[in-house]
Structure formats: structure tokens, C-alpha cells
Chain A
Amino acid sequence: MKYRVISRVIIAFSLILSVWSIITFFSYKRANLYPAIPEEILTVLKENSNTEVVVYNQLLDKFILKYPSLDLTAYNEKFRQTNKLDMHSFLFLTVSGLPDKVKELTENRYKMEKLKSVKGFELYGFQDNYPFDEFLISSSIAKLTVFMFSNNVKKQASFFMQIFNTGPKEWHHIYVSKGSFDNGNMEMINAHPIGGSGSYLEIIVPAQNMKYDKIYFRHAIAISGKCPLCPPVVTEIEQEDKKLTIKTVAYHTEDYELEGFDSDKPLKLKISTENDGKRHFFFDIVYRKEKQ
């Protein structure tokens, strides 16, 4: 008797579940999720055409090809870690509220305002209150010039789709990516691998069109490249007659201040890993000045 009642309840519930499954199946097949950005929001985006628009990841494939004129960036790309939040202001377009990570990473640094909410879309505006104006060279890697030296033969690395190809193999690259370090994950310029006997890289960082107070060389070897007995990665930094050598051995990121170097003059970096291409070397150049 007891089992009969339970079984009949299960049957009733499973019938409902089955019908729900079929209806759900056809409804999500037919549903055209977020086919277009609502006109009201599009207007705001166009009014702020110089401001970067961060979109919730899952909207990216849908809209990036549909609205080529908008400067859309994926949330996943932008909010991996705080160090890349070098934007003074940005817009955030979402369909499912603000992700916790965005709230967490912007809490102390940005003033946030909900600008529009239309047909499930929400548009937020962010304005920073960071005491510095900061620029990271990793955010405009295209401006670098990269040369490879092998047995004293100099060759310029080709640049395509944000990647410098520095060798014959697909992983001979210089590009921006996230590294895992002892002090957390951080997005920097990944120069792995650059090994090979007598090989090194020369990177020209162009002069900045703004005067910054301080310049830092941020560097580390990722945990994935741990190799206790391997030689350090050696970076020589030159600017006119000024020259200094930095050896990277740590698995946590360090900011080394380039005292006496000017932001309005180009920097020349010479990076060498001797005969070891396995070091997962990451670096960045950070330009900083106090906000006016």
C-alpha cells in the first residue's frame, strides 16, 4: 500500500517532468536568446563610443561579430585579476546581473552606476577613484617591436592577431596571457619560450606620449616553469646611456623601479634565458603617475 502510493506519486511527478522536459527542449531550441542589444542601450553605447564596453562572457560571440563598431571586451578577459583594471572608466553590459568577481574587484577602486535596464539587459558605468594614472604596456602589446637574435643574426618578429611569432614552433610566441604565480594569477606579457644557444630577444617599448612619474619593470617566472637549478632569465634594460640588468628567479611577481628612466623615451629590453627555453617568463612595464 505504502509503495503503491509512493509509486503513483513518482509516476505523476515523472509525467510532469517528462512533459516539462519536452516543452523546455523545444522552447530553448526556438528561443533566440538575446538576439540584439536594445536600442536604448545601443544609444548609450554609441554616445560613449570611446569607452571600452565589457560584456558578460556569454554574450561575446553573439555580439562581437554583429556590432564590429563597438569596442567590446569579454568579462572573462578583463576581470581575471585586478592588475589589468587599468581603465579609467568602462561600461559593463550584462544579462544576469553583475558577477561577484566584478563587484569584488571594482569595490574599492571604481564608482559604479546602473545606467540602463531594458529587456533583461543591464548597463553599468564604472569610473575609477584610483590615486594613480597607470598604464601597462601589456594592454597595448601591438606597440612593441620585437627582434629575435640567433647566432648574431637579427630578425624582426612578425605580429599577427596580438601575437609575436618568435620562432618556428607554434609555442614560440610573445603574447599577453595569465600566469600563475606564488602571489596569485596575473596577466602579463608571456615571453615563453625564448631559449636556445646564443639566442635572445630585443624588445623596443615606444616612448609614451604622457609624462609618468615612475616606471616599474614587473617580472616573474610562472609556477608552471619552476626549475630550481635552471639559470635565471636575464633582462637588460637600456635607455640612451642608462643600462641595468635584472635577473628573474622568483615565482612571485616583483615590481622593480627603473629609477632615472624617462617615460617619454623608448626603452630597449634584451631578454635572454641562456640555453633554457623552459622558463615561463612573464614581464610588464608599468608607468605610473599621481592623479591630478
Chain B
Amino acid sequence: MKKKFNLIIIPILFLYAFMLFYKAETVSITDDARYYMEAAKNYSSYFTEGYKGFRYFDKNFIDRYWMFNNEHPSFAKLLMAGGYLFFHKLLGVNPEFVTFRYGISIMALILLLFIFDFTRRVFSLKAAVFASLFFIFLPRTFFHARVATLDFTVGAASFIFVYSYYRAFTSKFWTVMTGITFGLALATKLNAPFMVVPVVIHYLIIKREDIFKKRSIKALFPRQFISMLIISMPLFFMIWPWMWHDTVNRMSNYISFHTKHYGILMYYLGEIYREPRPPFTAPLVMTLMTVPVMVLFFSAVLPFIYRKKDSSENSPLMLVTLAALFSVFPVIISPVFYSGVKLFQPLFPFLAIMAGLGLALTLEKAEIKKREIKYGFAVLIFIPQIIGFISVSPNHLSYYNEISGGTKGALIHGMERHYYDLFYNDISTYFNEKCSKQRCDVCVMPNGGEYIYPASILKKGKELTNNFRYISNCETADYLILTHEYRWESYPHLLKQLKNEKAVYTKKEEEVPLFTIFKLK
């Protein structure tokens, strides 16, 4: 393994940081972010208040700050709390809600470093650069890196765990880190620990001779797995104080919440799914439709051009491929809802590496002598992805690739045009102007309840006028916001009911309406 750090990552890192932080306040608020932001705020209070009388271990004190949103472990929310404490409390950055996002975005930068370093160490510098670029321009993943939710961190923790496992073959430090990173993955969300499956399979394949023929004790008890056994669970409990008291009961509640999770609606290929769930192919179809074409293409060409360097190699590509497959596997056996890719974020770092490696190997093995042609080609490869990325900004969850025909084509194929219950910045902009002087009663259909809290978060952050008042009774509302979402059975009906009302604003992506504001009075 090459050990020298390469500075070429610095400009890519700066570019990614700029993309993540620039106008972060304009990114829509998702319906679940409010829970995590509130929990993260509570956690920060736990740390700042607990020193008075050193009450960090007191049950009542813990319950006060850790009860809320105890159905999810703490790690991602601790990142958000860190962002809030550092940027908002210490540096005074406003609006407050953006600083929670910063915690996740910083994790995204760390993940980029790991992607780059892994690819450079085990493949090549060119592959590392390409993988990094493919990764930062993945539209939907980029969106998740800018919102205060758990999903991006699941992907990041999973990848860093796999990275640690791989490096632990040659490093004691990373042996310890394997246990730590697996513990952090456990402490992120219930789907993160699935990454242990490809790791174990990879280990069994590469050490099969030692285990099954030589029956080596050392191979039977690899140090990475011992580290995981010893460190991960204590760490999981250590960073989640909610589990410190009444542990058995709370752990059982945590697991049962996820095993009995309520159904979420998903509109997929023209049908609405809850129970029965979408077909098992749905995650694969969503991947094919929402990942830029070039990333898919260069991942797919790898088997044709990759050749193992020597027999001593620990098959990094096999590890990456297994990890990619198994990051989708849990959602195949129990197909996803939501935007289709939210729950398999762990796939994307691995997919980017595969694409980066595919492109680097293609260039290397084609033996093109002229550098201008070689790099001109590389640049051309990124153009479709970058223009697609920019064109949907900042609504990256409306991104569909060229195979789908963009957002417009996806709609024709019967796909949902956006992740639902997003409080768009455009709603704030519209009402800040229209309701600057008088109160406006606004209702939202078809799923209004999810808009109350984002509205109050935005008001608190002074991003939305206090004259905006959410009301549930549309009969008395001044304005009605209709979010265009086919997953709601009532949507076509509502649209029909509103056809004679005055539409005053429509937010569109590629001419596809995302929401329409109607003036009722």
C-alpha cells in the first residue's frame, strides 16, 4: 500500500466544501429533519447543562434530554449537535437550523477523504481523483449530505468501517479503528450494521485456505472481528446515554420499533405501494434511474478491464463489489419506500469507487499516448453528470438521469417527481413577499401536517415571515399549497377540485410542477 498523502485531494475537498456549504439554507427541509434537529439540540443541552453538579449519569437528567427521538441511535444526531454547538453557539452562525446540517456536511467531507485515500492506496491516484469527482456530483447523495437526517451518515459510517477493516490487514491502529467505526455504524441507524455481511464474506473468501485447509487459529479469529466484538457494542452504548438505564427494555423497544415500522407510501411505475410493498426490483430500478449514466457505465465495464495485480492482493475490488451489493441487499429483501435511494446510501461511495476505477483503467489500458486526448476524454465523461447535477440544484431529489428522460421522463414513467413533504425555500420566498404586511393563513394538501414544524423552524431562523400561519382547515385559508405527489390517493382528486381556483405560483423542475400555490380568497 502506498502511504504518502497526495495533495491533489485538497482542491476537490475545497470544491466539495463550497458546494455543501454555499447557500445551505436554501435546501428544502425534509419532514423527518425536525425530529433529528430537536433531538440534536437536546443532546447539546445535555452536554452544556450536565456539568452543573455533574449530572451526566443521572437517570432523570438523561431522560430529559435523550427521551425524544429515542427510536434512533445517537451518532448522526451528535454530529448535528456538534455543528450546532460549534457554528451556532460558539461562532454565532445563523440561521440556527443550517448549523445542524453543517455537522452532516462535515461528515461528508470526511467521507470524501476516506474514499480518496482508499482508492488511491489500493488502486491508483487517477482512480481516486475520478472516484472523488464521481461521488461529489451524485445528485441525490449530495442532497442527503446537506440535510439534518441520518441517511448520509449511515453511508459514511458504513464506508469508513469497510475502509478500517481493509487497512487492518496491515495496521494495528486500523484494527482498533475497525471496532470503533463499526460501533459508530451501529450507533447511526439500524441498517448500517448490515455492512458486516460483505466484510465477513470477503474475509472468508480471501482466507479460505488458512481457515479451511490449514485450520489456522489466527485466521479463525481475525483481529478485525475481535476488535469489533470487544469495542463496537460498548461504544454503541457509551455514546447513547438513553441506553444507560433500563437497558434491556429500551434496547427491546429500539429493535421492535424498526421491526414493526409503519408502512410508507411510495409511488412507483404508476402504482401506489404501501402493503404489499414495491417489487424487489424497485431499488435496482431506482438506482438505474437516479444515478448519472456515466457512473453506471464505468462501474459496469470493470469486469472487462480489471485484472488482479498478484495473488497476495487482498482483493479490494471484490470487497468494494460485495459492499455495493450488500448495501442494496437489505432493501431488496424488504423493498424501500421513500425516494427510493434514501435508505441505501451506503451503496454510493462504493459505486463511485467502481466508476472511478473503471474510468482510470480504461484510460490506462487504452494506451493513449497524447495527454491532451486522454484528459480531454476524461473531462468529457464528467460533463453530462455535472450539467445534470447543476440543472436540478438545489432540488437534487428530483434528479433522474438521461435514461429516465430527466424529471419529465420519470413522471411519464410513473415515478414520483420529488421526495415528499419537502418545505421548499421557494415557499418561504413567495410568502415573505406576499405576506410581508398582513397575516396569511395557509393550508397544505394532501399532507399538511408535515409542514407545521418546518414552518416554525424557518420562522425561528427568520427565513420565513411570521405572517405565514399554517392552518389545517383549508376552508378558511387564504392560500392553499398543493404538493404534486401521486403517492397520495387523494392527489388527483384534489387537483381536480382546485382546477377553477387561482393558481398564483407553481414551482417547476423541467416543467414538471412540484407544488402549486392557490389563492383562495
**What residues make up the interface of A, taking CB atoms closer than 8 Å to B?**
3-4, 6-8, 10-11, 14-15, 17-18, 20-22, 24-25, 28-29, 31-33, 57-58, 60-61, 64-65, 68, 72-74, 76-77, 80, 95-96, 99, 158, 160-163, 165, 170, 175-178, 180, 223-224
Contacts and interface: CB of A to CB of B under 8 A. Distances in A.
B234 interface: no
Interface stretch (B252-260, B313-321, B407-415, B428-436): B407-415
Contact of A77 (B294, B412, B475, B493): B493
A258 B383 CA distance: 68
Given A32-B511, A61-B484, A160 B298 contact: no
A28 B409 contact: yes
Interface in B303-326: 304-305, 307
A74 B498 CA distance: 14
B329 to A, nearest CB: 27
B113 interface: no
B293 A17 contact: yes
Contacts of A20: 402
Interface string B385-411: 001100100000000001001101101
A96 B408 CA distance: 15
Interface string B455-472: 000000000000000001
Given A18-B381, A57-B414, A74-B495, 9 more contacts: A7-B305, A17-B293, A18-B383, A29-B406, A58-B411, A161-B493, A161-B497, A176-B493, A180-B275
B474 A160 contact: yes
Contacts of B391: 25, 29
Q: Which interface class (under 10, 10 to 19, 20 to 34, 35 or more) fits B?
A: 35 or more
B377 A25 contact: no
A6 B381 contact: no
Contact of A170 (B411, B448, B495): B448
A180 B275 CA distance: 8
B445 interface: yes
A2 to B, nearest CB: 9
Contact of B412 (A6, A33, A64): A33
Contact of B492 (A15, A21, A77, A95): A77
Interface string B480-497: 000010100110111111
B272 A61 contact: no
Given A8-B366, A11-B366, A3 B500 contact: no
A14 B294 contact: yes
B495 A61 contact: yes
Contacts of A176: 493
Contacts of A223: 275
Interface in B484-521: 484, 486, 489-490, 492-500, 503, 510-513
Contacts of B494: 161-162
A72 B496 contact: yes
A14 B362 contact: yes
Nearest to A159: B475
B361 interface: yes
A18 B384 contact: yes
A4 B367 contact: yes
B38 to A, nearest CB: 21
Contacts of B247: none
Contacts of A64: 495-496, 499
A235 to B, nearest CB: 24
A77 B500 CA distance: 20
Interface in B189-210: none
B489 A15 contact: no
B284 interface: no
B365 A21 contact: no
B274 interface: yes
B405 A24 contact: yes
B305 A10 contact: yes
21 contacts: A7-B361, A10-B362, A14-B294, A15-B377, A15-B380, A17-B297, A21-B294, A21-B388, A25-B387, A29-B391, A57-B414, A57-B492, A60-B495, A64-B496, A72-B496, A74-B495, A76-B270, A99-B270, A158-B473, A162-B490, A162-B493
B381 A73 contact: no
Contacts of A22: 383-384, 387
A21 B384 contact: yes
B92 interface: no
B17 interface: no
A17 B405 CA distance: 14
A68 B499 contact: yes
Contacts of A165: 473
Nearest to B262: A224
A74 B406 CA distance: 22
Nearest to B366: A7
A76 B492 contact: yes
B449 interface: yes
A21 B448 CA distance: 38
A137 to B, nearest CB: 16
A6 B270 contact: no
A58 B414 contact: yes
Contacts of B297: 14, 17
B301 interface: yes
Most buried by A among B304, B493, B494: B493
Contacts of B363: 7, 11
Contacts of A99: 270
A140 B112 CA distance: 56
Q: Rank and list the top 8 A-B pairs by shortest CB-CB distance, nearest first.
A: A74-B492, A21-B384, A7-B366, A7-B365, A3-B365, A24-B402, A77-B492, A21-B402
Contacts of B412: 33, 58, 95-96
Contacts of B414: 57-58
B388 to A, nearest CB: 6
Contact of B272 (A3, A18, A76, A170): A76
Contacts of B484: 61
A80 B499 CA distance: 23
Contacts of A77: 489, 492-493
A160 B473 CA distance: 9
B478 to A, nearest CB: 14
Given A28-B406, A31-B408, A61 B513 contact: yes
Given A18-B294, A58-B414, A162 B492 contact: no
Given A7-B305, A21-B402, A29 B510 contact: yes
